[in-house]
Amino acid sequence: MQVTSSLELSDYEQSDMYNLIEKVTQDSNYKPFQLFNAIISTMSALISLSTSLFFIGTWNMYVALILLVIPLLSLTIFLRVGQIEFLIQWQRSGTERTAWYLIYLLTHDFSFKEIKLNNSSSYLIHMFSKIKKKFIYQDINIAKKKAWFNTLLGVMLNVINSITIVLIILSVKVGEIMFGNLVSLIQALSKLNDYSQTVIQNIYVIYNTSLFMTQLFNFLNKKDIANKSNETEKFSSIENVNKIVLKNVMFNYPNSEFNALNDINITIERGSLTAIVGKNGSGKTTLLKLLSGLYKPSSGEMYFNNVSTSNLNMKDYQNRVSVLFQDFVKYELTLKDNVRLSSVHSNNTDQQIKMILDSLNMSFLKPKDDYDLDLQLGNWFNDGQQLSGGQWQKIALSRTFYKNADVYILDEPNSALDPTAEKELFKYFVKLSKSKITMFISHNIKAAQRADQIIVMKEGQVIDVGKHTELLQRCPYYKELFESEKYQDVV
């Protein structure tokens, strides 16, 4: 859990990392313990096995050596089968996640409505059973291989054991050994079989677990590497953010072939309100990820207070930024936690939480005179109160404003709000903009009109920056956005 929290956003935006996390978190609870047990058990079985083997060797060295052939052969075969089994299990994690996701879709409220109405459950169940059938087929194949080798090796073992017993009896007959030794030798032979089985099974477990542990250590190393780079590089810290400058910034997502942002040059200062507008996919949210310090530019420079992000301790900066994400979280927790999760280390009082709720007019949470901060939100847990889309957005906004930051960025903050709530939000935000760095992303030019500067984005580029009236005069693209909004009003 600690390692996952130390990962970067880029890690979470790649599906391979999900596969690794899934596998490692699933098995890491018991695997190290299993490995430890298997090592102890192998050591004790090896000692007993050597004693039996030594005893048989004192009677006949060659027979003792031949008795080792089957265990060694079994070991080689089962390690190979174990490797195949491990690879199959490991490669499954992506598909296993799909199966998990299908169950999640079929059993949660957010998706149930749509699935029920569109009658799509049978299709999803079919997808699920196809995955499970493939797994069962793979498991049966491995089980068949194991059973076949077990039978073959069992037959060979019985033949060798029978020959050995005949040889022991012959030795008694010709007087090479005493009759009493016959019983001890047969007992040693039986123990040798038992212990070699134990050793093989445990080595199989050790091998399989060690393949897993290698992956686990690779995963844990990620954290070490992240920590070490923090230790060795001397980063500047930052206290109050007053200015953000982007110079020739380009950005491309790790697995993407094209640049999500190209040649971005902007300056954003404290005390002004900035709006970012543009069509879907123009790069607004990507720019937000950079401005909030979650990503660094792929090329070009980003400065906070004239300090380049390449020399900056981004954690310090992130502590000074508060963001309402486009896909904000609806925490199935209490009202209090929903607000304070942006700033869990602050000593703010309940009164301060209530003040924020009042500023955004959350009267729907005040059926009596006061807020019940322990009210459970959502419907996953007992006595939860489910909220409307806009009400959830208001809660997320309260969380954003609850954090004491220098920079506030809101991604489509009004997407679910009614006109009254929108008006109240902007009143609050404009007031905040006098003393902070404030930005918001919107498709709504009407909302953007109030900004001190509007950044117009198109296909990953900033095509103009200015005030509403200036842009209307000189930027045809902005005018087009504005006109299309008016058209929407008419329709």
Which residues 363-402 are close enough to bind ligand ATP by CB under 6 A?
none
Nearer to ligand ATP, 260 or 481 (CB): 260
Nearer to ligand ATP, 185 or 457 (CB): 457
Which residues 304-363 are close enough to bind Mg ion by CB under 5 A?
326
> Residue 22 and residue 12: Cα distance in Å, rounded?
12
Question: Is 263 within 8 Å of 249 (Cβ atoms)?
Answer: yes
Nearer to ligand ATP, 286 or 391 (CB): 286
Nearest to 209 by CA among 201, 96, 93, 143: 201
260 binds, among ligand ATP, Mg ion, none (CB under 5 to 8 A by kind): ligand ATP
Q: Which residues contact 268 (CB under 8 A, 6 or more apart)?
A: 243, 244, 245, 274, 291, 437, 439, 453
119 binds, among ligand ATP, Mg ion, none (CB under 5 to 8 A by kind): none
Residue 107 touches ligand ATP, criterion: CB under 6 A: no
Which one of 282, 391, 393, 414 is in contact with ligand ATP (CB under 6 A)?
282
CB of 291 to ligand ATP, least distance (A): 12
> Residue 420 and residue 423: Cα distance in Å, rounded?
5
> Residue 124 and residue 376: Cα distance in Å, rounded?
31
Torsion, CA 417, CA 423, CA 424, CA 430, rounded to 10: 120
Helices (H), 108-178: 109-118, 121-173
Stretch that binds Mg ion, among 1-9, 132-140, 161-169, 281-289 (CB under 5 A): 281-289
286 binds, among ligand ATP, Mg ion, none (CB under 5 to 8 A by kind): ligand ATP
CB of 91 to ligand ATP, least distance (A): 23
Return the number of other C-beta atoms located less than 10 Å from residue 458's C-beta.
17
Give the single-character DSSP code of 376: B
3-state secondary structure (DSSP) of residue 294 = coil
CB of 333 to Mg ion, least distance (A): 26
Q: Site for Mg ion (CB under 5 A): how many residues?
A: 3
> Residue 186 and residue 52: Cα distance in Å, rounded?
10
CB of 256 to ligand ATP, least distance (A): 4
Residue 262 touches Mg ion, criterion: CB under 5 A: no
Question: Is 128 within 8 Å of 102 (Cβ atoms)?
Answer: yes
Query: Could you give the strand order of the β-sheet that contains 461-466, starting from the edge strand earlier in sequence?
Result: 321-324, 407-411, 437-441, 273-278, 453-458, 461-466
Nearer to ligand ATP, 281 or 367 (CB): 281
CB of 217 to ligand ATP, least distance (A): 28
Token pair listed for 398: 């309260």
Nearer to ligand ATP, 64 or 264 (CB): 264
Nearer to ligand ATP, 366 or 458 (CB): 458
- Please, what is the end-to-end C-alpha distance for the chain in angstroms? 51
Which residues 246-265 are close enough to bind ligand ATP by CB under 6 A?
253, 256, 260
Nearer to Mg ion, 85 or 411 (CB): 411
Q: What angle do CA 147, 148, 153 make, to 5 degrees?
A: 100
CB of 392 to ligand ATP, least distance (A): 18
CB of 20 to ligand ATP, least distance (A): 18
Question: Is 440 within 8 Å of 429 (Cβ atoms)?
Answer: yes
Beta-sheet strands, E only, within 21-81 = none
The CA R_g of the chain, rounded to the nearest whole Å, is: 34
3-state secondary structure (DSSP) of residue 231 = helix
Nearer to Mg ion, 326 or 334 (CB): 326
Residue 284 touches ligand ATP, criterion: CB under 6 A: yes
Residue 285 touches ligand ATP, criterion: CB under 6 A: yes
Stretch that binds ligand ATP, among 48-56, 274-282, 394-402, 425-433 (CB under 6 A): 274-282
Which one of 4, 6, 7, 13 is in contact with ligand ATP (CB under 6 A)?
13
β-pairing verdict for 273-278 and 437-441: parallel
CB of 252 to ligand ATP, least distance (A): 8
Which one of 28, 37, 120, 285 is in contact with Mg ion (CB under 5 A)?
285
DSSP H helix total and E strand total for the chain: 18, 10
372 binds, among Mg ion, ligand ATP, none (CB under 5 to 8 A by kind): none
- Residues forming the site for ligand ATP (CB under 6 A): 13, 253, 256, 260, 278, 280-286, 326
- Residues forming the site for Mg ion (CB under 5 A): 284-285, 326
